Structures are given as C-alpha cells and as structure tokens.
C-alpha cells in the first residue's frame, strides 16, 4: 500500500494572495466612504459595483480559460437556479455592507465578519454533520457573549452584524455545493446583477441624481468598484486551492481587524461596553485560530508518522 501523499506547504505566492485578498477586503470601506463623500448613495454604489464587476469578472474567466464552463452552466437550469439564489444572498451582503460603511457602522460590520467563521462551524454541524470540539464550542460561546455585550452597547441587537454573517455564511454553503469554478460562478452572478445595475444607473442619470458621470474623478472612483470586488475574490480562489483551510481560517481575521481600525479612525463611537464586546469577540477568534493551527499540526504529525511506518 502506497504511503499517503503529504499536503504540500503553502507557497509564497499562495500566502501573498491570501494576505492580499484579506487586506483589500479590510480597506474596502475606504472606497465606499470616498464615494459617499462625492455624493454617491449606498444604492448607487451598489449599482456601480454590479455594473463594473461583470467586465472584470469576464476578464478573469477569459484569463483562466473557463469560458467553456460558463457556456455549459448557462445550459443547466438547476445550477443556474442555485447561482441565482447565491446572487440574491451576495447582493444582500454587498448592499448591507455598503450601507453600513457609508453610515458610520463599520465597527458593527466588522463584527459580522468576526463571527462569520464561528457561525460556519454551527452550519457545518447542522448541514454537513461536522464535529465541533470543545475549543470550537468555547470560541462560539465567547463570540455569543460578545454579541450580547454588543447588543447592550447599541441598545438593540446588532442586526447588521448578524445579517452580514448569515448572508455570507449561506452564500458560502451554496457555493460549496455547486460544482462550478469560482471565476465562472462569479461571472454568472455578476451577469444576474447586471440588469439591475444598468437600470438603476440609467434611472439616476435620467433624473439628474447620478454622480458617477459628473466628473472624471467621480467616474474613476465608480469604476474602481469592479476590480475592488473581483480582484480579492480571484486572489482568494487562488490561495484557497493551495493553502490548508486552517491557515486560511487564521488569516481571514485580518479583514475584520482592518475594518475595525477603519471604523475607529473615522471616528465611530467606541464606548467601554462596546470595547468589552470586542474583547470577547477577539478571544473567540483567537481560540478559533489557535485550535485550527493545533489541528493542522497534529494532522501533519499523524501523516508523517504513518508515512514512516509504511
């Protein structure tokens, strides 16, 4: 019997790709804040995100040589239906995120992406019968306490955080179950969104309410929505295929941490009670990341031992 093939260590390019995508996602609120300062409303920003993303997503499909898969998927009604549902979820996620970052709620948005991987563990238990060890439950418990303190600090449940985590978590579940390459799937999702973006942008321009075509500067910022949406997703897809999920799970907390820093830097309220809530969230994230690293090391040791025995 041949020994099991060891999992190769992540390459420098894969690590830099993962780092790049999460850094981009971390600083993404700044792009929306600049557009808001130029007069863009959240729906207008979302429309331009849908409008320009399709061009860059199409370019990625051509570069990856996946145009044949796009044509094949367009002839599969069942797969298209799942991608349509994924499109609804990502549109809700994008819309909420754009609204939050342009209405001084970036801290609450960052909370959603801290709790998302912990929520994914619960979804994995429920849908895929994945096991959660005591460290996983500890991380979930700490995050739950953090969410409770956040609700007390806000005087209401952190609906934005919860909705962002749920929408992105559900989007991930659907994408996991659809046998479509990331670039092809993203392009088709952008195609679904394109008519809505076109119609709304045209309506704004007809009524003199649009801002993107008011000046070359404004148009440049609107156009940036395309690569700012597509490029980190492409880097993520590249890294995810070449790195252990445990390593990706550790790096992913970089994005909400940077979002948190952006929220603080732009003067959002950070009360002592809110600070306590984030301490519990960070503890939960830390336990999650540490447990993932320990599991990865244990798996590598077991693999090395089995190879030696053979």
pLDDT score for 6:
45
CB 79 within 8 A of CB 73: yes
pLDDT score for 3:
45
**What's the whole-model pTM score?**
0.86
Q: Is the dihedral of CA 58, 169, 99, 202 positive or negative?
A: positive
CB 140 within 8 A of CB 121: yes
Domain spans, the chain: 12-303
pLDDT score for 299:
66
Cα Rg of the chain, angstroms: 21
C-alpha distances (whole Å) from 140 to each of 75, 110, 116, 125 are: 41, 17, 10, 13
d(Cα 232, Cα 19) in Å, to the nearest integer?
10
Q: Write out the DSSP string of 8-68.
A: PPPPHHHHHHHHHHHHHHHHHHHHHHHHHHTT--HHHHHHHHHHHHHHHHHHHHHHHT-HH
- Dig out the tokens for 200 from the structure: 């709304």
- Dig out the tokens for 120 from the structure: 């994914």
pLDDT score for 180:
84
Residue 56 makes CB contacts below 8 A (sequence gap 6+) with: 226, 227, 229, 230, 231
pLDDT score for 2:
42
pLDDT score for 195:
95
Spans of the chain below 70 pLDDT:
1-10, 128-130, 241, 244-247, 249, 296, 299-300, 302-310
In residues, how long is the chain? Answer: 310
- Dig out the tokens for 137 from the structure: 């439950």
pLDDT score for 296:
67
d(Cα 191, Cα 287) in Å, to the nearest integer?
39
The neighbour count for residue 247, using CB atoms within 10 Å, is: 19
pLDDT score for 40:
96
Packed helices 77-101 and 159-177: angle between N→C axes, nearest 10 degrees = 160
- Dig out the tokens for 85 from the structure: 């549902």
Q: Is the dihedral of CA 145, 147, 150, 155 positive or negative?
A: negative
């Amino acid at each position: 019997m041949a020994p099991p093939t060891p999992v190769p260590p992540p390459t420098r390019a894969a690590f830099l790709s993962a780092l790049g995508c999460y850094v981009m996602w971390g600083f993404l609120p700044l792009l929306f804040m600049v557009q808001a300062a130029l007069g863009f409303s959240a729906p207008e920003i979302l429309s331009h995100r849908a409008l320009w993303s399709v061009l860059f997503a199409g370019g990625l499909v051509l570069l990856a040589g996946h145009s044949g898969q796009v044509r094949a998927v367009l002839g599969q009604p069942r797969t298209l239906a799942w991608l349509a549902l994924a499109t609804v979820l990502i549109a809700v996620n994008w819309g909420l995120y754009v609204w939050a970052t342009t209405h001084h709620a970036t801290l609450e948005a960052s909370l959603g992406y801290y709790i998302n991987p912990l929520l994914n563990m619960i979804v994995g238990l429920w849908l895929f019968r994945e096991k959660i060890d005591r460290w996983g439950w500890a991380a979930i418990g700490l995050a739950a306490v953090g969410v409770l303190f956040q609700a007390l600090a806000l005087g209401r449940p952190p609906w934005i955080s919860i909705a962002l985590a749920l929408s992105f978590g559900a989007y991930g579940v659907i994408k996991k179950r659809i046998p479509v390459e990331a670039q092809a799937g993203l392009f088709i999702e952008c195609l679904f969104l394109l008519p809505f973006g076109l119609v709304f942008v045209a309506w704004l321009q007809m009524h003199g309410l649009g801002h993107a075509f008011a000046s070359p500067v404004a148009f440049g910022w609107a156009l940036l929505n395309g690569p700012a949406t597509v490029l980190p997703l492409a880097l993520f897809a590249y890294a995810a295929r070449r790195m252990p999920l445990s390593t990706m799970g550790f790096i992913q907390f970089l994005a909400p941490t940077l979002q948190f820093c952006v929220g603080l830097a732009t003067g959002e309220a950070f009360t002592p009670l809110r600070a306590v809530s984030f301490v519990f969230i960070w503890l939960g994230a830390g336990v999650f990341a540490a447990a993932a690293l320990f599991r990865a090391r244990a798996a590598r040791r077991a693999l090395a031992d089995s190879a030696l025995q053979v």
